Each structure stands twice: as structure tokens, then as C-alpha cells.
Chains A and B, each alone.
Chain A
Amino acid sequence: MNREIAVVAFAQTDHRRTSDAVSEVEMLMPVLHQVLERTGLKTADIGFTCSGSSDYLAGRAFSFTLALDGVGAWPPISESHVEMDGAWALYEAWVKLRTGDADTALVYSYGKSSPGSVRDVLTRQLDPYYVAPLWPDSVALAALQAQALIDAGTTDEPALAAVGARSRADAEANSHAQLRGSVPQGDYLVRPLRTGDCPPIGDGAAAVVLAAGERARGLCERPAWIRGIDHRIEAHGIGVRDLTDSPSTRLAAQRAGAYERPVDTAELHAPFSSQEVILREVLGLDDRVRVNPSGGALAANPIMAAGLIRIGEAAARIHRGESDRALAHATSGPCLQQNLVAVLEGDPR
């Protein structure tokens, strides 16, 4: 079945270093209520619900089941979960809507990184035989990638610092962001990456409502139509890959139709400054494209929600009439291992 799907509403929390006072579902619920209010839908009206989160952030098995309380997960709800960033939950919901099984979908994701040490937690997603026993943390792996770029002459430390500075300056306009304005570049965390090249560690949640065809027009004045969406993965062995390139992003972008016509906005999920350098090159984004007007992941990186937020931010610019054709990208895994690209468009004005 060939039906057009659009993002019709987006909401996110304020992203903060800690959120001790609330549980995951307590953090998530206001965001769920906001997207529903924006569309006038009630939980019982939603055709399909899909969420993204990770047990390793909470340190508890099946932690997503508690968050389900927030969506009225009562029969006959149609519901699913991905142990991934919410961008992949959105992909699953998009497939569900494309099949015609549902007309509307609620997609949400959340991450509380504050209870644990996220650099150590993320080592648990690595190859358990050859890599995880060495406990290489997420910053160390990103630093290897950054050094590979520097060795290749693609970037240098001042250029990386400029990426962080621009992101946090742009985040001035984003009241949800965790780091805003002038932020010191700081000391090396793992050389060549300094604090300013790395994402803040924080807690947050986001939610999106998708709708198909005429239903979308009824729920949103200017729906953000998903013209294409695709996700690809690379070899899990880091030493097998060319860390200065991102063939999976290139392929996903191609399959999503990103190269067919220029975009005016790109929301890139680049938790490390060096990763933005790679993504800009691979996606062919020149200075005419507004990159990460939200501040991106360097301003707020709630793990498991930051990718969904890229899609939400891109869609919201279309809703507001600030963009006509936007690209949204999400990543997961070390050194841009997995990449998702979506192309969103508003109706012609």
C-alpha cells in the first residue's frame, strides 16, 4: 500500500543533567500529553504505539514496561518497543502505517543517563568477545575516529571546536537544550577530543505523532511528509571500517532520496563534533544548508531520544514554515555504526 505518512506533532522535555525527582514514566508523561493535545487525539485513538529505550541506562530488565503506564497500555492497544533510539521506533511505526494497519502512531523514547556512568554503560553494546572485555568507553572510540580524520587532513582541533561552539550558540534559541551559549572547550577527555567536542550527559524524553494521508492534514496545518526513510549498518568490527567515512549514511540517504534535491535544513545526530564533519561530507551539505539549528546532540543528547529529536526538530521547522525540505539523521552504536536518514517535506506554499 502506497500512502503518504507525516510527522504531525512533536514534543520534548527540557534536557537536564539529572532528574532524580521523577521516574522514567513521570518524566515522559508530560511529553506524551503535549503531542496528544497538539493533535486533539487521546491515547485510545492511537492506532499504533512504538517506543525506544535501553535497559542498560536504568540498570533494570524490561524497564520499558513501566513507561508503558504513560500511554494507557490497555487492551486492545497495538504496541511495540525497540531497544534503540526512538528514531528506529519511528521507522517501525512508519512501516506499520505504510501497510495500512493503522492511520496514526505515537512514537516516544526516553533516556535517563544520570543513574549510571554512561561512558561505561555504552561499552556493553560492543562486541563481547574481542572488544567489550577491554572496556573502551564511548569517548575513547569517538576519539579514535577524530584522530583518523585529523590524520587524513579532513579536520583539525580548532575546526572541531568551532562545531561545538556553533552548536551551543544555536542552542540559545532552544529552551529545551542542556548546554546553551558560550561553553568552554575544556580539557581533553580522550585526546584529541575535549569536553566541548563531546555531548552533555543528561536525561530527557521526546514524542512524535505520525499520521497517514488525509488524516495527517486533519491533525496538522502543515504536515511534515516523510518522503523517504532508510537505515543501514556497518561491520561491527571497528578496525574493519574506514572511520573517516560513513558508507551506511550514504546508502541510507540515497535510499531515502536525500540526494534527489537539495534540502534547506539538516538535523544531524552527531554526538561528537568529529562526527558532524563526516556527516556533512557524506550527505553533501554545503553552507546553504542550515545544520542543527536546534543545537543538535552537542547541546542535548538524551540517549535513546536524541535521534528521534532530530526528526522531531526537522518536522517542527516544516510545521512552522521555516523549512520546506529537511533532512533528519539518527545514529546508534560506536563511531557512527548505524545510521538512519529521513527526508521530510512540507506542502508547497
Chain B
Amino acid sequence: MSAILKAPLTVEFPFTRSLGPVQSAFLTGLRERVVLGVRAGDGRVVVPPVEYDPVTAEEIRDLVEVASTGTVSTWAWNHEPRRGQPLGTPFAWVLVRLDGADTALLHALDVPGPDAVRTGMRVRLRWAEERSGAITDIACFEPYDGEPEEPAGHGGEFAEPVTGIVAPARLDYTYAPGRAQTGYINALAERRNVGERCPSCRKVYVPPRGACPTCGVATAGQVEVGPGGTLTTFCIVNIKAKNLDIEVPYVYGHIALDGADLALHGRIAGIPYDQVRIGLRVEPVWTEGARYPDHYRPTGEPDAEHDTFKELL
């Protein structure tokens, strides 16, 4: 068996989220250098504020301004900051109970080393220079030995409130397709289409995924299929896909390769789109340097009889 295939896979998404009334007030407040909490049913002030009572699940929206000074309730020293974290230099993760709040806010504390942090230490919030209405409007916390700051009593009403956030997310993976798919992809590089046969029901699956979905057993033994096949169904695509250099309309179809018990899909070309029909005999067209067939074209053979592919529809 040839070497295991691997490839980088990056999943990246600008998560766009709308905000409820309490979240909106809190994040708008951060933009305006105001920290708001919400009063829960038991009288506690919850910061950052939630929309539903942590105990009773009742909807709550009685906003209360709290101070930007507070006390560390616990901490952890992060000597190797990771991508996306608040500070690029070593810092302490801290839970901070702001003066006037009864719960703690998670953020970073900017101090030179772990010896400069302790539970119970006094800290002050440091604002980011540019603020947009997001938790990152708080740059971090810093040590503070002054008096608790007095909140001005803001009620949570703002002009032009923030109604949504965009939270970019990116995760990096190394994708490894496993044994069966590696075999399939490697064969494609040699311009061969291979499937795997189920030892129980004898069906040949293309592309193989390593298991027979009907029997639930491992498939074994590569079987070469094609190169020719029969079009079992198709659709005509009239909308141009982004970043895809194919003129519309074009035809996309299910192709039962000769010897396969499952149809794979591919583009049909080399024939006017309005002359494509079920039963059409097709073959793959490989382009120079490509790792898979660019499209399938008619072979010129007579159409296949319906009985020969009806099980594959």
C-alpha cells in the first residue's frame, strides 16, 4: 500500500451573530467605556450579563452599571499565548469580580510573571484603543492599587446600539482520508477508477469509504471499474458557481461506471446540454496534470438498456 495521504485543511468562518437586548447593551457599553451587569432574581448582579436568570431561567433585563475596577477571584499563568488570545506576551488568565458585581468575568491580566499575580489582587480594566462593541474592547486587566472606581449609574440606553458581532473563527487541520480513500485517490492519479467489494453482499462501492453501508462490514480488495459508464440521472445547471470557470448551462450527472454498484457524480460535456439523456454511455476525460477526471463525454456507443442500470437509480 502506498504512503498515507495527508493535506492541510483550514476551516475559517466569520461568525456573524445577532444580539439580544442585554448582550447588545453590554457590548455597546464596552464601546462607550461603560460596564453593565444585570440584576438576577436573587439580587445578585451578573457580569457579564445574561438574558436569562442563572437560577430560575426567568428573562431578566434590569441593567446595572458596575465599576471597571475589581478583584481577581482565580487565575492561571499562560506562558505561551496562543493565536487569537488577548495578549501576545505571557499573561495570566483571570476571573475578575468587578466592584458592584457578584459574578466574575473571564479575561487576561497583563503582568510580567506569575509571581505578580495572586487571588484577591486588585485590578483595573484597560480599554482597547479602538472599540467596536465586542468583548475584545476590553484589551485586558492591569494591577491597580487605588480606590474602587464609582460607576456613574448608567442605565444601559445608548444611541446607535450594537446589534451584532462578527467573531472570526479559524481552525487548522491536517486531513488524512484513511486507507480506502487513499487507495482511491492514488489510483485516480494513475487515471484509474477503483472501488472496493463488500465481502458479504458483493457490491462494489465507488468511491470506496472502507465499509459497506448495507452490511456494516469492512470492504476489502480493490476492484478496477470503468473506464466507461452509463448516465443514470442528471440535472442542468443554470447558475454560475463562484470561483468556477464553467460556462452555464452545463450538465451534472450520476454515472454508473461499468462494474460498479454505486453511481458517482461528475460533469457531462462534449454534447449539447439539451441532448443529454438517461442511459447515455460516457467515459472520463482527463486533462494534463489533473488528479481526477475533468468531465465525462459520450463514448458514441448505443444507449444502455434501462434494465442494465435500473438497480443503480
Interface residues of A (CB under 8 A from B): 20-26, 29, 32-33, 43, 56, 58-59, 66, 68-74, 114-117, 119-121, 124, 128-137, 140-141, 143-148, 151, 188, 190-193, 235, 237-240, 243
Q: How far is the CA of A335 from the CA of B133 in the complex (A)?
A: 28
Known: A68-B213, A129-B19. 10 other contacts (CB 8 A): A21-B176, A24-B178, A25-B210, A58-B173, A130-B48, A133-B84, A134-B86, A134-B136, A143-B76, A239-B97
Inter-chain contacts of A133 with B (CB < 8 A)? 84, 134-136, 165, 167
Given A21-B4, A134-B85, A237-B48, the answer on whether A69 and B17 have CB atoms closer than 8 Å is no
Q: Is B210's CB under 8 angstroms from A23's CB?
A: yes
B44 nearest CB neighbor, chain A only: A240
B223 at the A/B interface (Cβ < 8 Å)?
A: no
Q: Is A143's CB under 8 angstroms from B93's CB?
A: yes
Q: Is B215's CB under 8 angstroms from A43's CB?
A: yes
Q: How far is the CA of A25 from the CA of B208 in the complex (A)?
A: 12
Inter-chain contacts of A243 with B (CB < 8 A)? 74
Inter-chain contacts of A115 with B (CB < 8 A)? 9, 173-176
Q: Is B211's CB under 8 angstroms from A25's CB?
A: yes
27 interchain pairs (CB within 8 A)? Answer: A21-B178, A22-B179, A23-B210, A29-B216, A56-B171, A59-B171, A59-B175, A69-B209, A74-B213, A120-B171, A128-B167, A129-B165, A129-B167, A130-B135, A131-B135, A132-B167, A136-B106, A144-B106, A146-B76, A147-B75, A190-B77, A190-B78, A191-B79, A193-B76, A239-B104, A239-B106, A240-B104
Q: Is B171's CB under 8 angstroms from A124's CB?
A: yes
Chain A at the B interface: SS class: helix
Q: Is B209's CB under 8 angstroms from A120's CB?
A: no
Interface residues of B (CB under 8 A from A): 4, 6, 9, 11, 15, 17, 19, 23, 27, 46-48, 50, 54, 73-79, 82-86, 93, 95, 97, 103-108, 114, 119, 134-136, 165, 167, 169, 171-181, 209-218
- Checking A33, A128, A130, A137 against B15 with a beta-carbon cut-off of 8 angstroms, the contacting residue is A128
Interface centre among A136, A148, A238 (most CB of B within 10 A): A136
Q: Is B211's CB under 8 angstroms from A29's CB?
A: yes
Given A25-B211, A240-B54, the answer on whether A128 and B17 have CB atoms closer than 8 Å is yes
Interface centre among B175, B210, B214 (most CB of A within 10 A): B210
Given A26-B178, A133-B135, A240-B103, the answer on whether A140 and B210 have CB atoms closer than 8 Å is no
Q: How far is the CA of A120 from the CA of B4 in the complex (A)?
A: 25
Inter-chain contacts of A146 with B (CB < 8 A)? 76
Interface centre among A69, A74, A136, A239 (most CB of B within 10 A): A239
- Checking B46, B178, B215 against A240 with a beta-carbon cut-off of 8 angstroms, the contacting residue is B46
Q: Is B171's CB under 8 angstroms from A188's CB?
A: no
Q: How far is the CA of A144 from the CA of B78 in the complex (A)?
A: 11
Inter-chain contacts of A73 with B (CB < 8 A)? 213, 216
A194 to chain B, nearest CB (A): 12
Q: Is B19's CB under 8 angstroms from A23's CB?
A: no
Inter-chain contacts of B73 with A (CB < 8 A)? 148, 239
- Checking A114, A140, A235 against B78 with a beta-carbon cut-off of 8 angstroms, the contacting residue is A140
Q: Is B211's CB under 8 angstroms from A26's CB?
A: yes
Q: Is B95's CB under 8 angstroms from A69's CB?
A: no
A213 to chain B, nearest CB (A): 26
Q: How far is the CA of A32 from the CA of B231 in the complex (A)?
A: 36
Q: How far is the CA of A237 from the CA of B101 in the complex (A)?
A: 14
